[in-house]
């Protein structure tokens, strides 16, 4: 009777070790699945991308950029690649809207850790804190995003309005690069 009592905990421990070692392994997307559900466009989210303070001070720390990748159905999806953000001053009397470049940031989304750190499941998009200590809430800016995949490149830009509208005469139209433009890899 005694040897059975000793073997039962050892058996339970070995089963627990085997079960803990079994992780969820993803299935690779087929080429057809990748074409159907892979990223087709990107979008700087106009409601969530804004000047923010995240260190507990009274002065804003930079821009929280929320980048949404969408498949051909307009649904959010994930992808690996490199993201490059550029911040420009806003020029209201120029159709280009971009003035002087103020800052550049880049981030990788190639690994599991980066995906976990950047993905926000509530809004189904990637979130980036773009630190820029000279940011002001009384000015407009143009933020651009470039997402580089192995198969091509996608672009978007967004006009970030000032939080105080006094003296601001611009608009907040989102301007997107054409889908069939150079660098789209199709």
Q: What is the DSSP letter of 54?
A: -
Structural domain count, the chain: 1
Residue 114 maps to a domain: yes
pTM > 0.85: yes or no:
no
- The pLDDT of residue 179: 54
pLDDT in tens, 2-18: 556 666 666 665 655 55
Question: Greater confidence, 178 or 61?
Answer: 61
Mean pLDDT rounded to a whole number for the chain: 82
pLDDT in tens, 54-111: 998 889 999 999 999 999 999 999 999 999 999 999 999 888 899 999 999 999 999 9
Residue 96 maps to a domain: yes
Residue 13 maps to a domain: no
Residue 8 maps to a domain: no
Residue 5 maps to a domain: no
Q: Give residue 87's domain range.
A: 33-186
Residue 103 maps to a domain: yes
H or E stretch at 145: strand 141-149
88: left (phi over 0), alpha (psi -120 to 50) or beta: beta
CB-CB contact of 173 with 140 (8 Å): no
Neighbours of 57 (CB within 10 A): 8
Residue 12 maps to a domain: no
CATH code, domain carrying 121: 2.60.40.1940
């Amino acid at each position: 009777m005694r040897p059975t009592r000793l073997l039962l905990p050892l058996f339970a421990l070995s089963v627990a070790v085997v079960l803990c070692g079994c992780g969820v392994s993803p299935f690779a997307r087929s080429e057809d699945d990748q074409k159907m559900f892979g990223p087709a466009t990107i979008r700087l989210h106009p409601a969530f991308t804004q000047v923010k303070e995240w260190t507990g001070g009274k002065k804003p720390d930079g821009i929280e950029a929320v980048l949404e990748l969408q498949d051909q159905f307009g649904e959010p999806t994930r992808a690996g690649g490199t993201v490059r953000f550029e911040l420009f001053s806003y020029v209201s009397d120029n159709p280009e809207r971009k003035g002087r470049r103020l800052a550049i940031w880049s981030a990788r989304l190639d690994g599991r850790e980066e995906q976990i750190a950047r993905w926000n499941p509530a809004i189904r998009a990637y979130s980036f804190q773009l630190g820029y200590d000279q940011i002001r809430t009384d000015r407009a800016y143009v933020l651009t995003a470039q997402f580089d995949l192995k198969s091509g490149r996608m672009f978007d830009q967004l006009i970030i309005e000032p939080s105080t509208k006094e003296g601001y005469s611009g608009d907040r139209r989102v301007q997107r690069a054409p889908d069939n433009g150079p660098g789209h890899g199709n």
